[in-house]
Amino acid sequence: QDSLLFVYSLEFSAMANFLKVLVKNARNLKDADGAFGGKTDAYVRMRILDADGKTVAGPKETSVKDEGGANPVFNEEFLFKDLETPGSYTLKVTVLDKDSLMGLDVLAADDKLGSATLDLGTLNNTEDMVDKELIIADGWFSDSTVHIAVSTCGGWGN
């Protein structure tokens, strides 16, 4: 019975340092490819950053939504594990447009459509998924958004 309790406490303490992120969709993404480049092939890249801006977890990426256009739907869930001090970190969410040249991805750099951050210190301690709308700023436009839901898995937060 003691060994069973030990296993449970190890699993519980590990859950204390998780962040679950559901990337739902994006809205009003700009067309970085221009009039003749086709629709936006969007994907989302996420990283967890410390106070110095250094990556402590990730990157994690959604699948590419080929010809997804200005309003792609992702509905993909990710789990960041083993976060040492999650309340002091920031989630950085970047939306990119996958580019290829003559059908080869390696010949073209992906276009950054914009990024947003979420201060993890503002999250509540809950197992529930909490919806967040983040404005994707690219330096020119600020009407693009990405919709996510986050959970601290009940292990940390306010």
What's the confidence (pLDDT) of residue 10?
46
Could you tell me where the beta strands, DSSP code E, fall in the chain?
19-27, 42-49, 55-61, 73-80, 90-97, 111-119, 130-136, 144-151
Read off the pTM.
0.83
pLDDT one digit per residue (tens) for the chain, 158 residues: 444 444 444 444 445 689 999 999 999 988 765 544 567 889 999 999 999 999 999 999 999 998 888 899 999 999 999 899 999 999 999 999 887 554 544 555 778 888 999 999 999 999 999 999 999 986 665 689 999 999 999 989 99
Nearest to 86 by CA among 130, 132, 118: 118
pLDDT at 3: 47
Question: How many angstroms separate the first and last alpha carbons of the chain?
Answer: 33
At residue 9, the pLDDT reads: 46
pLDDT at 14: 45
